[in-house]
A and B are shown apart, each in its own frame.
Chain A
């Protein structure tokens, strides 16, 4: 069983919808990450939170809005997405902000119609 839990596992949304992806970890890790993965491609880093503060934004469009309410939770708010944003969104955590070893959740499969 993964120790990084993501909900929902599947999400279908229209381009005008607002939805959120949620991630939770209880390993006491102080860094949390959002990755995006398209089919047959490697995971691509989107955001990094270190000690609950946004430390890296990989030039992600503003229609993706991350939020870290506390050290265990990470959200990704979605608004006005495009069909090309359809992908597997992976949350990960690491003990330290250097991110030597990341623990990934199972991902949220997003489809934008």
Chain B
């Protein structure tokens, strides 16, 4: 029973354009949300987070939006760069960190 879902296994974007990665969760009690980025043969690295008291958090090219009523969050990367190509995991803090399935982003030059 997946509590955190990333329905797009892959996404391809042109360099300079916006990348939008989506994540849905099932439990309205979750109150802290994170995005991790993972390159092949490396561990995930923390990217950005948001708590449930906010609906937006921005850090440079990365912005996370939270829609609590829809139980949905998204990560926007603008402008996208080839070095952003990686697998992005959405995660929620629900007593333990629960990861989504991941979305593989490919940014083409």
Interface residues of A (CB under 8 A from B): 2, 4, 6, 40-43, 45, 48, 56, 90, 92, 98-107, 109
Contact = CB atoms under 8 A, between A and B. Distances in A.
Contact of A99 (B45, B89, B97, B100): B97
A92 B43 contact: yes
Contacts of A106: 41-43
Complex A-B, nearest 7 residue pairs according to Cβ-Cβ distance, in ascending order: A104-B43, A42-B99, A104-B44, A106-B43, A107-B43, A90-B43, A106-B42
Q: Chain B interface residue count: which class?
A: 10 to 19
Given A42-B100, A104-B45, A106-B41, 12 more contacts: A4-B43, A41-B102, A42-B101, A43-B99, A56-B96, A92-B43, A99-B96, A100-B34, A100-B49, A101-B46, A101-B49, A105-B43
Contacts of B100: 42
5 contacts: A41-B102, A48-B96, A99-B96, A101-B49, A109-B41
Nearest to B100: A42
B7 to A, nearest CB: 14
A90 to B, nearest CB: 5
A17 B34 CA distance: 38
B34 A101 contact: yes
Contacts of B96: 45, 48, 56, 99
Given A42-B102, A43-B99, A99 B93 contact: yes
Nearest to B90: A42
Contacts of B62: none
